[in-house]
Chain A
Amino acid sequence: MEVGDKAKMGFEETELRLGLPGNNGGGSEGEVARKRGFSETVDLKLNLSSKDPGIDQNGNTSKLQREKHLLAADPEKPPAKAQVVGWPPVRSFRKNMFSVQKSSTEDCEQKLNATFVKVSMDGAPYLRKVDLKMYKSYQELSHALGKMFSSFSTIGNCGSQGMKDFLNESKLVDLLNGTDYVPTYEDKDGDWMLVGDVPWEMFAESCKRLRIMKGTDATGLAPKAMEKLKNRC
């Protein structure tokens, strides 16, 4: 794993953009339009071929616009077109019960047959996103994460190697006590777990976001992770 080598990443397109989705203008315009859905309504009503070139006759955004919106999402708000708040009027308990089922359900991120999760690293200036479906094992994920965050000085020269070791299942326990970085993830139930405890497929299915924590913060994690596993079986 070359350190400092900002290798050409297939993630060019997935880099966070500053603009908010659903609008032509900058962030603040988007903010207002989202809160005051009515003005959106007026625009669409008055002029079906609206200002936004991505919206066609039926008010559908073009596929390209949709993709852009999905990948450039403001961390706080979902893409405007893909999900209007409370629409369609499906009760949230029904949405939740359903999304836990094994048969594939489409949510925002699965529309493109990808599972994008946010990755944050303590000390890094901004977040990244990875598509878990691109990897088949923890090794592959660790490799990609190492590349992504290698440019940050907080990791330092041996950081990515250390991270690779962390993600190696057999070395987790030893290295937890160190001051290096520990990869953790938030699962479907909202709990923060240590990466590497469960088989890759189970992890990929239940991981909602990743956080690479400073090792000292992660000591409380393992026992709960074990308890979670026990309850699940």
Chain B
Amino acid sequence: MLRMASSFPEEVLEHVFSFIYDDKDRNAISMVCKSWYEIERWCRRRIFVGNCYAVSPPMVIRRFPEVRSVELKGKPHFADFNLVPEGWGGYVYPWIAAMATAYPWLEEIRLKRMVVTDEALELIAKSFKNFKVLVLSSCEGFSTDGLAAIAANCRNLKELDLRESEVDDLSGHWLSHFPDSYTSLVSLNISCLGSEVSFSALERLVGRCPNLRTLRLNRAVPLDRLANILCRAPQLVELGTGTYSAELQPDVFSSLAGAFSGCKELRSLSGFWDAVPGYLPAIYPICPSLTSLNLSYATIQSTDLTKLVSQCQSLQRLWVLDYIEDIGLEALAAFCKDLRELRVFPSEPFAQEPNVSLTEQGLVSVSEGCPKLHSVLYFCRQMTNDALATIARNRPNMTRFRLCIIEPRAPDYITLQPLDDGFGAIVEHCKDLQRLSMAGLLTDRVFEHIGNHAKKLEMLSVAFAGDSDLGLHHVLSGCENLRKLEIRDCPFGDKALLVNAAKLETMRSLWMSSCSVSFGACKLLGQKIPRLNVEVMDERGPPGSRPESCPVEKLYIYRTVAGPRFDMPGFVWTMDEDSALRLS
């Protein structure tokens, strides 16, 4: 066996490896033996770093010298809900600077929750001659000036996707920086931008890029300009409209309807800001072939929503506001038998009273009617254990289940019991569950269920739940595949963490805020486990200025081979061997 392995020429192995794309498989290959490690590292073209602080740029570059595509994630997930203060970190510039010299042939950069500056964008624009793909998901820190640099310099750019990023929107002029000779655009998503781009520049850009398949416009593009854009790109597969509202005018309607009908490849629609029901029929002709529909900004009511979804028999993904109500979800269950993913967002998340008739029943209906449904995000105001158990029995194929009941600690509204058994049923029946977000009144029992059954669970979000450390202990000791755990406002303290300290090195990260983990325990963890960064966030001042037993505000623990980071703001402290000296 050994003889055979060493007599295989490198080129052959490399060729074989080139068919393996998945990171986990690549990692497995690299661990077979030293020579495979060597061969593999020279031909790895794509890397994914789930936590940008888990490793340093020089380390990555040293191991993988020929990378073409990089994906990085920065801030913890709870940053999405304003739980991570400004200035926390996640800066991409050091990565770009290092890669500018090491990877001149870099083609793709995908970032999530990172701070991207105009400087970084300018550096990208001038360093990578064959740059093709830039995806900035929930990023911030840059302005439209940075975008202008990308547009002006990246001759081979195929994809520019700014999804949900916060951009300092100085003007729409940046779009006009794409030269007339530029024709390689395949995907453009500017839906998060506020200011108006030049419509004629946009139309000309769209018209001269024959490979354009994804176009997500921003709200500033009025409805009466949409038809012209669509006519220039009948090959579009994915479209995000601008504002979907205008005075009802027959000629505007008929050009729009005509333009939509001309887009035979259109499979995904989004946008629909301020949608007026009168213009919805313009998309009816293409509804039967739609696979993805994002109506989460459309304020249309349940009658119109029901009418719309009833025509989308091929729908696989639906994002919608709770205006759809139970009645619309029943229609969804009846007509959209291919549905895989459903997200229902709250139209009035801060209202104390329900403004729509959307209850647990809607979700139950969809779970009954849609056999392929496996991914759910559902905001509602009431739930029962029975409903959850029914959903679990109906859909054992569920892989992502995120429930949010608007009122924290809301019990089963009929029995007034905690929802432990309901979620227990979910983890028991749905054996492939990878992601779970819980809601309502929950005791330690639900965590016992999770620890016992959720063996494939990778990400768990917990808020306002549990009674004691036992809850956390169940999860840390039972969930073998747990990678990300985020907890807020739960009575979990030191014991569970210290007992399960070793578990933390097998996970990507743990977030705990408004819990009762003491400063002393944080120090202990940081000192005992060198390959963990234990970061304490406290806006009250240095944790050392308070007693050791004092709970910390926020705690973020992640495994790393790069040691403590040095770009922390004043309210973040790393607990490590030196912390005892520094903080006393």
Binding site for B on A (CB under 8 A): 35-38, 41-42, 44-45, 58-60, 66, 82-95, 97-98, 101-103, 105-108, 111, 231
Q: Could you list some 24 contacts between A and B, CB below 8 A?
A: A35-B540, A36-B553, A37-B514, A38-B551, A41-B489, A41-B491, A42-B491, A60-B352, A84-B408, A86-B81, A86-B488, A88-B379, A88-B406, A90-B346, A91-B81, A91-B164, A92-B80, A97-B219, A97-B273, A97-B297, A101-B274, A106-B350, A111-B350, A111-B351
Instruction: Tell me if B256 counts as interface (CB < 8 A to partner A).
Output: no
CA distance A90 to B467 in the complex (A): 26
CB distance from A49 to the nearest CB of B (A): 14
Across the interface, which residues of B come within 8 angstroms of A66, CB to CB?
A: 352
Using CB atoms, name the residue of chain B closest to A31.
B540
Across the interface, which residues of A come within 8 angstroms of B553, CB to CB?
A: 35-36
Instruction: Tell me if B295 counts as interface (CB < 8 A to partner A).
Output: no
Using CB atoms, name the residue of chain B closest to A59.
B409
Across the interface, which residues of B come within 8 angstroms of A102, CB to CB?
A: 274
CA distance A26 to B352 in the complex (A): 26
CA distance A44 to B463 in the complex (A): 14
CB distance from A231 to the nearest CB of B (A): 8
* Interface membership of chain B positions 397-436, coded 1 if the CB is closer than 8 angstroms to chain A and 0 otherwise: 0000000101111100000000000000000000000000
CA distance A92 to B138 in the complex (A): 10
CB distance from A80 to the nearest CB of B (A): 12
Query: In the bound complex, do residue A41 and residue B379 qualify as a contact, i.e. CB atoms below 8 Å apart?
Result: no
On whether A95 and B349 interact (CB within 8 A), knowing A35-B553, A38-B489, A59-B409, the answer reads yes
Instruction: Tell me if B490 counts as interface (CB < 8 A to partner A).
Output: yes
CB distance from A85 to the nearest CB of B (A): 6
Counting chain A CB atoms within 10 Å of each CB, which of B138, B349, B409, B463 scores highest?
A: B349
Question: Secondary structure of the A side of the interface?
Answer: loop
CA distance A166 to B515 in the complex (A): 53
Given contacts A59-B407, A87-B81, A88-B404, 8 further A-B contacts (CB under 8 A): A38-B514, A38-B551, A45-B491, A90-B81, A90-B349, A93-B138, A95-B349, A106-B350
CB distance from A170 to the nearest CB of B (A): 32
Across the interface, which residues of B come within 8 angstroms of A93, CB to CB?
A: 138, 164, 166, 192
Query: In the bound complex, do residue B348 and residue A38 qualify as a contact, i.e. CB atoms below 8 Å apart?
Result: no
CA distance A94 to B347 in the complex (A): 10
Contact of B351 among A84, A91, A106, A231 (CB under 8 A): A106
Across the interface, which residues of B come within 8 angstroms of A94, CB to CB?
A: 296, 345
Instruction: Tell me if B83 counts as interface (CB < 8 A to partner A).
Output: yes
Instruction: Tell me if B367 counts as interface (CB < 8 A to partner A).
Output: no
Using CB atoms, name the residue of chain A closest to B166.
A93
Using CB atoms, name the residue of chain B closest to A104.
B348
Contact of A87 among B80, B195, B408 (CB under 8 A): B408
Query: In the bound complex, do residue B407 and residue A38 qualify as a contact, i.e. CB atoms below 8 Å apart?
Result: no
Query: In the bound complex, do residue A41 and residue B514 qualify as a contact, i.e. CB atoms below 8 Å apart?
Result: yes
Instruction: Tell me if B361 counts as interface (CB < 8 A to partner A).
Output: no
On whether A36 and B350 interact (CB within 8 A), knowing A41-B490, A44-B409, A45-B491, the answer reads no
CA distance A52 to B564 in the complex (A): 43
Binding site for A on B (CB under 8 A): 78, 80-83, 138, 164, 166, 192, 195, 219, 273-274, 296-297, 299, 345-352, 379, 404, 406-410, 463-464, 467, 488-491, 514-516, 539-540, 551, 553
Using CB atoms, name the residue of chain A closest to B164.
A93
CA distance A88 to B439 in the complex (A): 11
Using a Cβ cutoff of 8 Å, how many contacts connect chains A and B? 97
CB distance from B56 to the nearest CB of A (A): 30
Closest 8 CB pairs of A and B: A86-B81, A37-B514, A86-B83, A106-B351, A38-B514, A88-B349, A89-B81, A103-B299
Using CB atoms, name the residue of chain B closest to A103.
B299
Query: In the bound complex, do residue B491 and residue A101 qualify as a contact, i.e. CB atoms below 8 Å apart?
Result: no
Using CB atoms, name the residue of chain A closest to B413.
A58
Across the interface, which residues of A come within 8 angstroms of B488, CB to CB?
A: 86
Contact of B551 among A36, A92, A111 (CB under 8 A): A36
On whether A87 and B514 interact (CB within 8 A), knowing A38-B491, A66-B352, A97-B297, the answer reads no
Query: In the bound complex, do residue B83 and residue A85 qualify as a contact, i.e. CB atoms below 8 Å apart?
Result: yes
Query: In the bound complex, do residue B409 and residue A91 qualify as a contact, i.e. CB atoms below 8 Å apart?
Result: no
CB distance from A176 to the nearest CB of B (A): 28
Query: In the bound complex, do residue A83 and residue B350 qualify as a contact, i.e. CB atoms below 8 Å apart?
Result: yes
CA distance A110 to B182 in the complex (A): 48
Across the interface, which residues of A come within 8 angstroms of B516, CB to CB?
A: 38
Query: In the bound complex, do residue B515 and residue A82 qualify as a contact, i.e. CB atoms below 8 Å apart?
Result: no
Query: In the bound complex, do residue A41 and residue B464 qualify as a contact, i.e. CB atoms below 8 Å apart?
Result: yes
CA distance A106 to B356 in the complex (A): 14
Across the interface, which residues of A come within 8 angstroms of B195, CB to CB?
A: 231
CB distance from B421 to the nearest CB of A (A): 19
CB distance from A212 to the nearest CB of B (A): 29
CA distance A105 to B539 in the complex (A): 32
CA distance A38 to B466 in the complex (A): 12
Using CB atoms, name the residue of chain A closest to B492.
A38
CA distance A83 to B195 in the complex (A): 30
CB distance from B61 to the nearest CB of A (A): 33
Across the interface, which residues of A come within 8 angstroms of B515, CB to CB?
A: 38
Query: In the bound complex, do residue A88 and residue B346 qualify as a contact, i.e. CB atoms below 8 Å apart?
Result: yes
Across the interface, which residues of A come within 8 angstroms of B352, CB to CB?
A: 60, 66, 111
Across the interface, which residues of B come within 8 angstroms of A45, CB to CB?
A: 409, 467, 491
Counting chain B CB atoms within 10 Å of each CB, which of A44, A89, A92 scores highest?
A: A89
Across the interface, which residues of B come within 8 angstroms of A106, CB to CB?
A: 348, 350-351
Across the interface, which residues of A come within 8 angstroms of B491, CB to CB?
A: 38, 41-42, 45
Across the interface, which residues of B come within 8 angstroms of A60, CB to CB?
A: 352, 407
Counting chain B CB atoms within 10 Å of each CB, which of A37, A103, A111 scores highest?
A: A37
CA distance A58 to B405 in the complex (A): 13
Query: In the bound complex, do residue A35 and residue B539 qualify as a contact, i.e. CB atoms below 8 Å apart?
Result: yes
Counting chain B CB atoms within 10 Å of each CB, which of A92, A111, A231 scores highest?
A: A92
Counting chain B CB atoms within 10 Å of each CB, which of A58, A102, A108 scores highest?
A: A58
On whether A86 and B551 interact (CB within 8 A), knowing A44-B409, A66-B352, A101-B273, the answer reads no
CB distance from B532 to the nearest CB of A (A): 23
Using CB atoms, name the residue of chain B closest to A100.
B219
Across the interface, which residues of B come within 8 angstroms of A103, CB to CB?
A: 299
On whether A107 and B350 interact (CB within 8 A), knowing A59-B408, A94-B345, A97-B297, the answer reads yes
Across the interface, which residues of B come within 8 angstroms of A92, CB to CB?
A: 80-82
CB distance from B474 to the nearest CB of A (A): 18
CA distance A44 to B404 in the complex (A): 20
Query: In the bound complex, do residue A101 and residue B299 qualify as a contact, i.e. CB atoms below 8 Å apart?
Result: yes
CA distance A43 to B452 in the complex (A): 30
CA distance A95 to B81 in the complex (A): 10
Using CB atoms, name the residue of chain B closest to A32.
B540
CA distance A111 to B81 in the complex (A): 22
CB distance from A169 to the nearest CB of B (A): 28
